[in-house]
Amino acid sequence: MPTASRAKHKFCRRIGQCIWGDPKCPSVKRPYASGPHGKGRRVKLSTYGELLLEKQKLRNHYAISEKQLRIAYAKAKAGEGQAHEKLFRSLEQRLDAAVFRTGFAPTIFAAKQYVNHGHILVDGKRVDRASYVLKEGQTISIDAEKSPAIAEAARKNNATVPGYYEVDLDNLKAVLVRAPQIDEIPVQAKIMSVIEYYAR
């Protein structure tokens, strides 16, 4: 999982595109792997390699560990319903993902920090677990009095918010109005390939 001590866009360089759609990502200007031979290197992946790459895209997009993704897959596989839909939604409805997706944080890493440091409220109560999964109808907000700098930055953010969230920037509140549809979740990873990777 990317950390503060590791280049966060290193994976983007390797695959030739930014997994978060950040126009400032180094992969925009240099869409090839780093190093002296990166530009001319083209590696044909095996079937396993392609599945692994999609799994890495998903894990890096949400900045979660392999263990966290395996646990999410195991939960999605259990019970009724399509595993790929349940997995995708459970990741997208994580609190850190919600803070990032609603534009309250500029990156998924900042969103994790905001949550872990207690700057985010869920239905008016402080929640400091990034893995907390939001339910439909729940509201997230920023405590502007205790976090004025974060509140000011959030109001200036002009991120494109998916249709399953309603955002009130003036009051720094956002509501998960409905569960996201698979095709509207802005993640550049093939979720079925991730399921195939773990099911093999």
Q: What is the mean pLDDT of each run of 10 residues along the chain (200 residues)?
A: 53 65 59 54 78 90 93 91 93 96 92 95 96 96 90 87 93 95 90 91
pLDDT score recorded for residue 104: 94
How high is the pLDDT of residue 4?
42
Residue written as token pair 């895209």: 57
* Whole-number pLDDT of residue 2: 45
Query: 33-41 long-range CB contacts below 8 Å, 24 or more apart?
Result: 34/10, 38/13
pTM for the whole thing?
0.82
Residue 88 CB contacts under 8 Å (≥ 6 apart), including other chains:
180, 182, 185, 187, 191
Cβ neighbors of 63 (< 8 A, separation 6 or more) are 1, 2, 96, 108, 109, 112
Query: Residue 81: what pLDDT?
Result: 86
Asked if residue 174 lies in contact with residue 104, where contact means CB atoms within 8 angstroms, the answer is yes
pLDDT of residue 37: 47
